[in-house]
Structure 1
């Protein structure tokens, strides 16, 4: 292994340094997906508002056509995995560095796009009209991607819906950013697939 590593050029070492951890992360994601620990985002939620301040979802939610999301964590992990190994394989086979970079970038980009479509169609196949998203209202979730204040942007939360962990888009009416790993309460649903959340514990004032 040491001899092989020492035989690599600087660019090849950089490619291997990118590809190896990306491959490990990709494998972990696949294993988590197989065991239901890394659910995809839900789509297509219709809401009504009653007098108690918590919005109600329809009787059943479904995955709406929210489009294909290419630039995701899974997409970038796939890109770096394919890019790194493609560059390394081409470079070791005698191709020039510029050609290896170009082909690696193209293959990585194609893999990222394919990943986006695979996830999109997988979510469409999961949409059988049996998921009751109203069961998540009032439940506790955990922030995965920070949620900007005052609905100025969208973050993501992981929440248990009908014994399945789902990664859902989320917004907040709070005046401060809700950080990663912060516990939140699901207050309602807006649009087609976005949860409205608030902190489980009030933010500390500066």
Structure 2
């Protein structure tokens, strides 16, 4: 591994920052792609960003891109940030070698990374709308049970997401609850209503008598 150490020591410290971002993000992107090919990651990586400490970032983050048909363009998602850091990293590496000032390299890399986030968000919104169109009637979700994928804030304050099966297909859908308490990820819920914009209204399955 001497060649690797020698190669690494020759890289300027500024450029190393981009390598630290580009390589892990690229590996995660590759794993994500593999999971999607085997049917395990299509909607899950589109979830809005959940910090895991019960502090949710809602930039509505539902990504989870679990968008309902015709939903808003979700940019700040798990998938989006992976794309951002991947493109930001590689663009930074490329432009750092051009001799441009550091601040200019960062700005260019940021614009490329953010542009990629928007492009990917638009692409998945488009593909999702195609999948949700046709014979799928969202109202058929009423009465069905699903599992919370992205924490749903209580009191109808903001949307979360649930994963649910109806009409024989698996869906990740935006959802709200009028329950007072937040409904955490992994909780079973029941759909009681569908709003005009396609958002599902759910209740905690444990509260159903």
**2:8: which partner in 1?**
5
Cα distance between partner residues in 2 of 1:27 and 1:163: 29
Contact 1:149 1:178 in 2 (8 A): yes
Cα distance between partner residues in 1 of 2:167 and 2:12: 51
Deviation sequence 1:78-137 (CA, Å, 0-9, x none): 111100111022224443322221110111111111112212222233344211334433
Cα distance between partner residues in 2 of 1:21 and 1:138: 42
Higher strand fraction (1 or 2)? 1
Q: Normalising to structure 1: TM-score of the pair?
A: 0.75
Query: Do structure 1's residue 157 and structure 2's residue 182 form an aligned pair?
Result: no
SS in structure 2 opposite 1:201? Answer: helix
**1:169: which partner in 2?**
174
Cα distance between partner residues in 2 of 1:115 and 1:101: 21
Contact 2:144 2:166 in 1 (8 A): no
Q: 1:182 to 1:27 in 2, by over 3 A?
A: farther
CA-CA distance at 1:184 after TM superposition: 2.0
**2:101: which partner in 1?**
96
Q: 1:69 to 1:42 in 2, by over 3 A?
A: closer
**1:105: which partner in 2?**
110
**1:51: which partner in 2?**
none
Q: 1:194 to 1:32 in 2, by over 3 A?
A: farther
Cα distance between partner residues in 2 of 1:6 and 1:142: 49
SS in structure 1 opposite 2:206? Answer: coil
Query: Do structure 1's residue 133 and structure 2's residue 172 form an aligned pair?
Result: no
**2:201: which partner in 1?**
196
Structure 1 residues 130-139 or 149-158, which shifts more? Answer: 130-139
SS in structure 2 opposite 1:117? Answer: helix
Q: Normalising to structure 2: TM-score of the pair?
A: 0.74
Structure 1 residues 83-92 or 168-177, which shifts more? Answer: 83-92
**1:24: which partner in 2?**
27
CA-CA distance at 1:178 after TM superposition: 1.3
Contact 1:139 1:186 in 2 (8 A): yes
CA-CA distance at 1:42 after TM superposition: 5.1
Give unmatched runs, 5+ long, in structure 2.
44-64
Give unmatched runs, 5+ long, in structure 1.
44-62
Deviation sequence 1:129-162 (CA, Å, 0-9, x none): 2113344333332222211111011111122234
Root mean square deviation of aligned Cα: 2.4
